[in-house]
Structure 1
Amino acid sequence: MNEITGRLARLPGLVLRFGRVAAVVCGYAVLIGGSALGARLRRGRDGRGLRDGDRWVRMLTRLGPSYIKIGQLLSTRRDLLPAEVTTPLARLTDAASPPSRRRIERAVRRAYRDRPWPFREFGWQPVACGSIATVHEAVTWDGRRVAVKVRRPGIERVMRQDFALAASAMTLLGVLPRLRRMPFKLMHAQVGGAILRQLDFAAEAASLAALRANLAGFDNVRIPEPLPELCTAETVVMEYVTDLTRFEPGELDADTRRAVVRAVLAAIYEMLFVDGLVHCDLHPGNLYFDHRADLVMLDAGFVIRLPDPVRRSFADFFINMALGDGWMCAQVVIESAAHVADDCDLEGFRAGLGELVAETSGAKSGEFDLARFAGRLFDLQRRFGLFPAPEFAFPLLSLLVIEGMIKVFDSDVDFQAEAVPILRRRNTPRAAESTVER
């Protein structure tokens, strides 16, 4: 009864949120659609494409953090999208408009209302603004220079409303005949729940500490140390890292670019295939160089702990893809599927995935497109009646976010070959241990 009452109490807010989202989308659809008329003649002469990119930024910003995350992901895909789209969207990574100083101060004071004020100095003007939080420089009473991540006031209510609206959309999609067998509710619970967990600052502080421990052996990767005694439910306090520069090729020579790419991939593969604690949000607002040109990973809000069976299955799939063994890739997908339809065509799936793996095995960065590969893989699963565990979305998302940036640094890197040493060091390929006859 209490649950029903609670849902009814939240209904007016959901209706208002839906109305706002619909109004913003429809309004900008008219603007963007109208400006697209005749764009082929005008583009390149009057900057129309760039202005359209700016409209996308304004629309996503007005829609809120859940939608800004989509824009951040798209901004990394400079290999797939034109510069007039990705350049404006890149501003979404760290240049959101901050709340007023009054609201920030009220939020910070409220976060420390039950304990002594820990800061000798506090910079109320943010040094960085994200969709979920602002970041401030501060000095503790004992002289430590720290960064304080402060959750935006009112952000939890908006994100939970968007979560509920997405759940309704998933339910409607599940009614469509072609999509009826897709486990949309489970997918929404897993992926949407992970996005909501970005509001859990205690979990983020713990993730920072865990990532530091897991990647301690990487001399060229740096993660700020959290200060748990200063963190609250609304703030994450960590060491302040100075002299950061954006993760861009800039004037780096070819050898340095190659070294950077391999360092990033090694760290990501260690997370994916060994530790199972995966940073899914390494866009340019969370990945930097320090003054020594070492990599600095910030903001552990979107960090996912993969269940060990999922981690092993993903590692099995990846190493067999690198080895060009499409049959074994198919076997891994079949055995790890969340649901297999009664009329599933396993042989058809094996044949289709075998062809896909043969096409992509050994491809260089400039030739391999993870987004298209994943799309074709999911299409094969849908057509032949296999539905993957929703947790598989997270390692793919982590790679998708970084893939576009990696290609800008080095288009010749072999994503699959770079993973093999880590996979072989910590995982036994399924091809060697499977007893299933082909």
Structure 2
Amino acid sequence: MFKTIWHIGGLYRLALNLRRHHAIETLNAMPVMPALLPSLLRATTFFIPRKRRLPENSGARLALALSKMGPAYIKLGQTLATRPDVIGRPLAEGLLTLQDRLPAFEWKAAKSIMESELGTVYTDHFSAFDETPIAAASIAQVHKATTLDGQSVAVKIRRPDIIRRFQKDLSLFSWIAALAENHSAKARRLRLTDVVKTVEDTTLNEMDFRKEAASCAELAANMEGEHGYRIPSIDFDLTFEKMMTIEWVDGIRLIDRDQLVEAGHDLNELSQRIVQIFLKQAMRDGYFHADLHQGNLIVEADGTIAAIDFGIMGHITKKEQQFLAEILYGFILRDYERVAEVHFEAGYVPRSENVHEFAQALKAIADPIMDLPVSEISAGKLLAQLFATTERFSMQTQPQLILLQRTMVMAEGMALHLNPEANMWEISRPILEAWMRDNLSPEIILADFITALPKLIRKLPASLERLLDLLETMDQTQAPNTDMPQKGNPITAWVSFTLGLIAGAALLKIFFL
């Protein structure tokens, strides 16, 4: 009871802040919002004056309101920016402007946290340390320093008491999501509690800098030898749960387009490289840098793109890589029947739906976009319309793909920032074609099967034992009928067929190896 009262109070505090930023009206545009709730919130917050000089765009006003509520609301807003099916496309586009910037916390607190992690005074490890942070975000702030061996580094220090604050706000989000799912079939389809769980999992992982350091090292290993892209090195001796030390990177941030032009960098080439690097990480490795905003990519003097901030990483399975590649490549070829079939094969759309009707719906979404001039084709808009259209085909949200959707939109946004004529589809095509050739050719499929064969054989005895137990149970429960001609047991026949198939595969393995 007390927790419910506290959650209602938290909801009301959110309503007051939305009122100040003229953002209650934005709730009307959200498909999952109960019709009477915006009116109720307006009636109970009428006495709160609105701030002046607010953005005209409703999504930008909502982004501003969330940024004033604290770190958890910023992370929630960034996640909702990838979910036009939950909040509507205009609001989702507006939330893309949400910046993860907060005032810095005091040097005294930063020094205390750092020395607690080091177990000694910081001057035992650094010859110089800038007390004024160069950047401050919702989870941490960053200081420039020099190690005792003269290495320039960036030191990331976690905000004090941040986990407790996040968990308090996330408790409210979970309560609201559960309330919505209990009273709305649409909310259940959109799996709002899973959306909140995704925010919680990614954020808590982001707060442990040992995990971020490990992610950085894994990504560096995956991308080793990739021309024009690199990952700075981590100083693991000076990295702990609340503190991380990473190589300092000099260069121009991708957001500073004019400086890049002045320095003589090829913006078209940079835009293509950003998109193709992301696709290689996602499609080839299934592990990608999922915080691809322009401040996290720096162009060095020789044109190399250096990535920083690895708190948010995305992971998709090999099967999901295949589905994604086929869906994107199908759109490029306008093979909507195949795109629809992949959705059904992946289980994204229930088999009770009609695959041909789904293909026609995809065609209706994609053709108007694909027929636009090159400068107006947007993969991000296509994905937004795709996920907004799937409701009538009972397609459930896939939480594991939320970060991927968001990162694809961000990658395209950066490419367009550098080159307004950039075409996501044409940039993506060679990477997708290479992936299809390397992973879906008959030779590769056969090789994958042969590689998996030893594991299958190891499991065979236990599987056969279970099947024989089942046959014995069936024989005991079924009385023989002597008047009818005897036929082979279909399960026994299936077992024989399976054994023959495995034996044949074993011979193939011997032959090819």
TM-score with structure 1 setting the length: 0.79
CA offset digits 1:70-110 (Å, max 9, x no partner): 6668999xxx999xx899x57x35x5210112221222122
Does residue 66 of structure 1 match 2:76? Answer: no
Structure 2 residue aligned with 1:40: none
Does residue 24 of structure 1 match 2:31? Answer: no
Closer, same or farther: CA 364–193 of 1 in aligned 2, 3 Å:
farther
Q: The residue matched to 1:291 in structure 2 has which SS?
A: coil
Q: The residue matched to 1:242 in structure 2 has which SS?
A: coil
How many Å separate the matches in 2 of 1:387 and 1:207? 29
Moved over 6 A (4+): 8-13, 30-33, 50-57, 70-76, 429-434
Does residue 107 of structure 1 match 2:144? Answer: no
Structure 2 residue aligned with 1:265: 275
How many Å separate the matches in 1 of 2:186 and 2:137? 38
Sequence identity of aligned pairs in percent?
A: 22
- 1:202 is aligned, of 198, 210, 214, to 210
Structure 1 residue aligned with 2:142: 135
Closer, same or farther: CA 306–355 of 1 in aligned 2, 3 Å:
same
Aligned-pair CA distance for 1:189: 2.7
How many Å separate the matches in 2 of 1:234 and 1:56? 31
Alignment check: 8 A CA contact 1:134 1:151 kept:
yes
How many Å separate the matches in 1 of 2:75 and 2:435? 32
Does residue 276 of structure 1 match 2:276? Answer: no
Structure 2 residue aligned with 1:39: none
Closer, same or farther: CA 73–30 of 1 in aligned 2, 3 Å:
closer
Closer, same or farther: CA 145–22 of 1 in aligned 2, 3 Å:
same
Aligned-pair CA distance for 1:274: 0.7
Closer, same or farther: CA 12–406 of 1 in aligned 2, 3 Å:
same
> Highest CA radius of gyration, 1 or 2?
2
Closer, same or farther: CA 317–31 of 1 in aligned 2, 3 Å:
closer
Letter in 2 for 1:302: I
Does residue 401 of structure 1 match 2:407? Answer: no
**Greater Cα offset, 128-137 or 141-150:** 141-150
Q: The residue matched to 2:153 in structure 1 has which SS?
A: strand
Greater RCO (Cα-Cα under 8 Å, separation 6 or more) = 1
CA offset digits 1:92-143 (Å, max 9, x no partner): 35x5210112221222122223898532332221111112110011222232
Structure 1 residue aligned with 2:161: 154
Does residue 337 of structure 1 match 2:329? Answer: no
How many Å separate the matches in 2 of 1:348 and 1:31? 37
CA offset digits 1:299-334 (Å, max 9, x no partner): 011111222222221122112222221111111112
Aligned-pair CA distance for 1:61: 3.3
CA offset digits 1:319-375 (Å, max 9, x no partner): 22222211111111122235628x534332122113333344476663223343223
Aligned-pair CA distance for 1:292: 2.7
CA RMSD of aligned residues (A): 3.8
Closer, same or farther: CA 161–179 of 1 in aligned 2, 3 Å:
same
Structure 2 residue aligned with 1:3: none
Structure 2 residue aligned with 1:306: 316
Closer, same or farther: CA 379–241 of 1 in aligned 2, 3 Å:
closer
- 2:355 is aligned, of 332, 346, 349, to 346
Alignment check: 8 A CA contact 1:97 1:129 kept:
yes
Q: The residue matched to 2:292 in structure 1 has which SS?
A: coil
How many Å separate the matches in 1 of 2:298 and 2:77? 19
Structure 1 spans left out of the alignment, 5+ residues? 1-7, 34-45
Q: The residue matched to 1:218 in structure 2 has which SS?
A: coil
**Greater Cα offset, 405-414 or 319-328:** 405-414
How many Å separate the matches in 2 of 1:326 and 1:432? 21
Letter in 2 for 1:378: F
Aligned-pair CA distance for 1:432: 7.3
Does residue 232 of structure 1 match 2:225? Answer: no
Does residue 212 of structure 1 match 2:204? Answer: no
How many Å separate the matches in 2 of 1:145 and 1:169? 46
Alignment check: 8 A CA contact 1:370 1:400 kept:
yes
Structure 2 spans left out of the alignment, 5+ residues? 27-51, 83-88, 446-513
Closer, same or farther: CA 72–168 of 1 in aligned 2, 3 Å:
closer
TM-score with structure 2 setting the length: 0.69
Structure 2 residue aligned with 1:41: none
Closer, same or farther: CA 337–169 of 1 in aligned 2, 3 Å:
farther
Counting matched residue pairs gives 406
- 2:420 is aligned, of 391, 394, 411, to 411
